[in-house]
Structure 1
Amino acid sequence: MRILLVLAHPLSDSFAASLAGTIERRLTENGHTVDLLDLYREGFDPRLTESERARYFEPDYDPAEAGPFVSRLKQADGIVLVFPQWWFNFPAILKGFFDRVFVPGVAFENDPAGGRIQPRLGNIRLFWAFTTTGSPWWVVNLYMGNPVRKLLKRGIAAFCAKGLDFRMVNLYDMDRADEGKRRAHVARIEKLVGRI
């Protein structure tokens, strides 16, 4: 498989960056082709431009302004996201990636009559996310209802592709996770990724 591995963390020495490196290595060992897209290192601009938004509902939307990133998405068989959850949401740069790259004609088609959008990412068979959050499990799941999982699974993956292998794995209470807990999490991720 060709995997688009998307990293969204501003620090190159972060736990997320280290985890992305581990995932890249494990996927490569399994014979997959990995396209590492480090949104910060590659200078991705998350801001949807005025001209992009003005054309959004026009037939044959042209995503040229984000063209290189769109091309990488179209070439992928699977997507693996690595990011921290901030304020129970995506980092702004990752939200901007969805806004500018998962666009009409690429990820979905708008129904001109106002009905359901039609998925267009038939090339994507796998959609996995590995995240960290400073909050404990009960706050994310019981109090907040795991909003990031809902957004990814119901609001992005399901609207853009059918029959996906979807998975999301969180490291909860990240701010208080000791070295042992982090190592155990990395070992779990290596094992999961080894099954791809």
Structure 2
Amino acid sequence: MRIQTILAHPLSDSFAAAVHRTAADSLRAAGHTVTETDLYAEGFEPALTAAERARYFDPDYDTGPVAPLVERLLEAEGLVFCYPHWWFNYPAVLKGYFDRVWAPGVAFRHDPAGGRIVPLLTGLRRVAVLTSFGSPWWVVNLHMRNPARRILKNGILTACAPTASFRYLAHYDMDRSTDATRKRFLSRVEREMQRFG
């Protein structure tokens, strides 16, 4: 399977980066073709430009400024997102990735009658999120109801890749994590990626 891994963390020695390395290595060991994307290292600019927004509903929307990322997305049969949650949401660079790369004509097309958007990522078979939270499980899931997970699964993927399966692994309570809890999570990541396809 052709899989793209996407890292959204500015520090190369972060836990998210370690998760990303573990995921990519495990996927390759399982026989997959892996394309690694590090949004910060590539200097990705997350802000949707005024010109992009002005043309958002044009039938020939231009994705030229983000063409390499669009190409990787369209080639992928699987996506693995690796990032921390900050303030119970994605890092801004990842939100910008969805805004600019999952664009009209790429991830979806507008219904000319103004109805629901039409999904275009029909070749995307599997999506996984490998993430972390500073807060404990009960704060994320009971108090906050994990808003970013719901937006990604029920909003973005349902709209753009409705047939893709979805897997979500989170290391909670990172603010009090230990070497043992982090190693345990990396082992979970390795096992999940070995059976990702």
Give distance in 2, aligned partners of 1:163 and 1:46: 27
1:6-32 residue CA offsets vs partner (Å, 9 max, x unmatched): 000000000010110011100001111
1:139-161 residue CA offsets vs partner (Å, 9 max, x unmatched): 00000011111011011111111
- Code of the residue aligned with 2:134 in structure 1: it is G
Give distance in 2, aligned partners of 1:125 and 1:190: 20
SS of residue paired to 2:3: strand
Give distance in 2, aligned partners of 1:143 and 1:29: 39
- Code of the residue aligned with 2:178 in structure 1: it is D
Tell me, which stretches of 5 or more residues in structure 1 are unaligned? Answer: none
**Contact 2:7–2:82 (8 Å) recurs in 1:** yes
User: What is aligned with 1:194?
Assistant: 194
1:110-139 residue CA offsets vs partner (Å, 9 max, x unmatched): 112110111100111011101101011000
SS of residue paired to 2:37: strand
- Code of the residue aligned with 1:18 in structure 2: it is A
**Contact 2:90–2:148 (8 Å) recurs in 1:** yes
Instruction: Give 1:60 shift.
Output: 2.1
Return the TM-score normalized by structure 2: 0.98
1:42-68 residue CA offsets vs partner (Å, 9 max, x unmatched): 111101111111110011212111111
SS of residue paired to 2:34: strand
User: What is aligned with 1:8?
Assistant: 8
User: What is aligned with 2:91?
Assistant: 91
Return the TM-score normalized by structure 1: 0.98
User: What is aligned with 2:39?
Assistant: 39
Displaced runs of 4 or more, over 2 A: none
- Code of the residue aligned with 2:19 in structure 1: it is L
Give distance in 2, aligned partners of 1:112 and 1:85: 36
Give distance in 2, aligned partners of 1:80 and 1:29: 15
Aligned alpha-carbon RMSD (Å): 0.7
Instruction: Give 1:162 shift.
Output: 2.3
User: What is aligned with 1:152?
Assistant: 152
Instruction: Give 1:195 shift.
Output: 0.5
**Contact 2:122–2:163 (8 Å) recurs in 1:** no
1:156-192 residue CA offsets vs partner (Å, 9 max, x unmatched): 1111112211011110001111111111111111111
User: What is aligned with 1:51?
Assistant: 51
SS of residue paired to 1:44: coil
SS of residue paired to 1:47: coil
